Amino acid sequence: MSRCGWHHGLHVLLCLGLLWLAAAGAAAQTQTVRIHAAQALVSDSPDFPAAQSAPLVALPDAWSLSRPGSDGPVWYRLTFTAPGLRENGELLALFIEHVCSNLQVHLNGQLIHSGGRMHEPITRNCNHPQLISLPSGLIGPGLNSLDLKVVGHALQRVASVHRAGALSALVIGPQSVLADRHARQLALNVAVPQALSAMLLLLGSFMFVLGWTRRRESHLGYFGALSVGWALIESRLWLRDLPFDNATAELLLCAVLPLLTWASVQFLLRFAQYRHRGIDIALPLQALVMPATLLLAGPERLYAMASFWYVLLPLQTLAAAGFCLSTQYRAQRPSFWPMALLLCMATLALVAQYAAQIFGIRGLTMQLAQIAAPVTVMLVGLLLLKEQGPAPAAAEDNKAHLESRIREATAEIERNFTQLAELRVEKVTERERKRIAADLHDDLGAKLLTIVHTSDSERISTLAREALEEMRLSVRGLTGKPVRLIDALGDWRAEVVSRLGQAGIEADWSAPAEELPQTLSARAFVQTTRILREAISNVIKHSGATHCSLRCDLADGDMHIVVRDNGNGIPMELDGRLDRGHGMASMKHRAKQLQGQCLVESGPGYGTVIRLTLPLNRATELA
């Protein structure tokens, strides 16, 4: 007796971490009386049937052993004397650890307590310990009789030993002492499982929604279903008065079990990333078959049939757990060890509950198993959440990565588009230039040509010819590609030398002969060609020279061209400027356009020197 109370305290301390004062229980031991036997009689009479002889039965009294097949009601009578217990005038109480399903208590013939409805549907108090205060006024100085009317169900009509009709040993003692024991029992049997199931309901719903929205994480959904199902089973702790009879209640309770199996097996398989179509079909089917077999077996064989399923269903879950663990082990997933630990815990809890079921053990083992199972489920839930935790972060990273990729791609597309647009513009421009060039040649060119060859005036012919040459150069500047400097020098040499040769002037050309990497833009080439052409024209027309030298050098990024003749030189204007029909202004203007300069030195009898300096880089890139 004392051992029992002390143990309870210790275990509660261990299991729940609540600081209960075990010493208080120990001090009270001497004042409580445990009753191990009572007169018992099956009768539905409103009072204890004193007329009939009632045999003495030992308590706890399990009806399945003492009166198999009986649904009661059973009247129990016990007698006690109060003096020892009433010494200090304390309130007395009766504590019943387990009575199933319900009871009424009479003290000395007076009804002092009712646990609820005594007829179908009977209030289900199997999990609820009873504490009944014994009114002091009703307790006599001599023998007092305490009558208990217990209603319940035969074992075969319930699915669990714990819900079969039974009455545990009784304890009478000071109410203050027993209240503590009652509170502890109530906490272990009801309050803690209730709290756990409430938490499971929350966690399960959350996980279920999570699994539902993320189809790739279907194991979360099944886990949610498992948690919610568990909470559903535990709802019997909240609902003691059901609106339907025992058979229906038992059937409904049993029908949840294959659903739980379905959820747990699928959770374990999906967690191991395994999916099998047969299993997908078989499990829901089982959830239909199981209640069907119970119905077929009828309420009289409910316990036998349920026992069969009690073996089968946990085995399925165990097999799935084994499979899940082995794949996790092979895949070396980091969640293996915690998962293995939790599944072992769950298995132990399952085995303990199973053993309790078979051997009808009540008490600590049963209570711990009852608490351990939902705790395990919750821990698994937390483990899953921990695994899921990094997922949003990873998704966030992925999203950021994707977004940056998209940004890059967009930028590239925009770049390409711009390039394409530029290309198109260039292409259109090029086409337009060619068209303009063709038009110029066909119209203006033809007309100028006609003037060249039909005009009677030599001056007009020459002007028209020059205009034609200008036009052609302009067109080339308009449409041309960059010209390699070495090629440009070749072209200039050919023109200069042959023109001077035709005019009978000795020509001396010198230019770098090696391979030159520079290029000239079409415009720079054309402008330089014009300047040279003008200079040579001047030599031919005005200088009267017999010799003309032309030197081209490259130095410091500049191109220097010096045209020197031995002619008469250019006569000074009145204002000191060299020009008048010699095109000096246009030569200088063109050189300026190329960011260069054109200097003319001349004196009567000294000939003329034209120094042309063009910045090669500018001429190459710009112009």
Partner 1 sequence: MNSILLLEDLPEIRAWLSSLVVQVFPGAQIAEAARVHDALGLVSAIKFDLALVDLGLPDGSGVDVVAALREHQPETQSVVVTIHDDDEHLFPALQAGAFGYILKEQARELIIEQLQRISQGEPPLSPSIARRVMAYFTAKSKPQPMSASSASIPHVSLTDRETEVLLRVAKGYTLPEIGVQLTLSRHTIADYVKQIYRKLNVSSRAEAALEAQRMGLFGR
Q: In terms of Cα–Cα distance, which of 103, 108, 105, 104 is closest to 137?
A: 108
Distance CA 591, CA 322 (A): 93
Q: Give the torsion sign (CA, 335, 341, 344, 348).
A: negative
What is the H or E stretch that residue 90 is in?
A: none
| 441 lines the binding site for partner 1 (CB under 8 A) | yes
| 445 lines the binding site for partner 1 (CB under 8 A) | yes
CB of 532 to partner 1, least distance (A): 12
Q: Which long-range contacts (CB under 8 A, 24 or more apart) does 360-363 make?
A: 360/62, 360/64, 360/161, 360/162, 362/97, 362/98, 362/162, 362/168
For partner 1, give the closer residue by CB, 33 or 516. 516
Among 355, 449, 516, 609, binds partner 1 (CB under 8 A): 449
For partner 1, give the closer residue by CB, 82 or 478. 478
| 490 lines the binding site for partner 1 (CB under 8 A) | yes
Assess whether the previous peptide bond of 174 is cis (omega < 30° from 0).
Answer: no
Among 105, 148, 207, 489, binds partner 1 (CB under 8 A): 489
Directed axis angle between helix 458-479 and helix 522-538, to 10°?
160
CB of 493 to partner 1, least distance (A): 3
Strand, coil or helix: what is 590? helix
Among 453, 541, 580, 589, binds partner 1 (CB under 8 A): 453
Among 430, 491, 506, 573, binds partner 1 (CB under 8 A): 491
| 459 lines the binding site for partner 1 (CB under 8 A) | no
| 494 lines the binding site for partner 1 (CB under 8 A) | yes
Contacts of 209 (CB under 8 A, 6+ apart): 224
| 460 lines the binding site for partner 1 (CB under 8 A) | no
Distance CA 230, CA 492 (A): 100
Binding window for partner 1 (CB under 8 A); candidates: 16-24, 132-140, 452-460, 519-527: 452-460
| 5 lines the binding site for partner 1 (CB under 8 A) | no
Among 47, 87, 300, 442, binds partner 1 (CB under 8 A): 442
| 63 lines the binding site for partner 1 (CB under 8 A) | no
What residues between 503 and 562 interact with partner 1 by CB under 8 A? 509, 513
Among 468, 532, 584, 600, binds partner 1 (CB under 8 A): 468
Among 11, 117, 465, 547, binds partner 1 (CB under 8 A): 465
Among 11, 34, 476, 618, binds partner 1 (CB under 8 A): 476
- The answer to whether residues 570 and 602 touch, using CB atoms and an 8 Å cutoff, is yes
Among 487, 508, 553, 621, binds partner 1 (CB under 8 A): 487
| 443 lines the binding site for partner 1 (CB under 8 A) | no
DSSP 54: -
Residue labelled with tokens 């390039």:
419
For partner 1, give the closer residue by CB, 403 or 487. 487
What separation in angstroms does the CA of 511 have from each of 132, 547, 551? 127, 17, 6
Binding window for partner 1 (CB under 8 A); candidates: 82-90, 248-256, 491-499, 603-611: 491-499
CB of 445 to partner 1, least distance (A): 5
Q: Which residues pair with 92 in a beta bridge?
A: 134, 174
What separation in angstroms does the CA of 217 have from each of 209, 269, 594? 11, 12, 72
Token pair belonging to 533 = 């052409």
Within 10 A of 51 (CB to CB), how many other CB atoms are there? Answer: 8
Binding window for partner 1 (CB under 8 A); candidates: 4-12, 186-194, 334-342, 438-446: 438-446
Chain residues binding partner 1 by CB under 8 A are 438, 441-442, 445-446, 448-450, 452-454, 464-465, 468-469, 472, 476, 486-487, 489-494, 497-498, 501-502, 509, 513
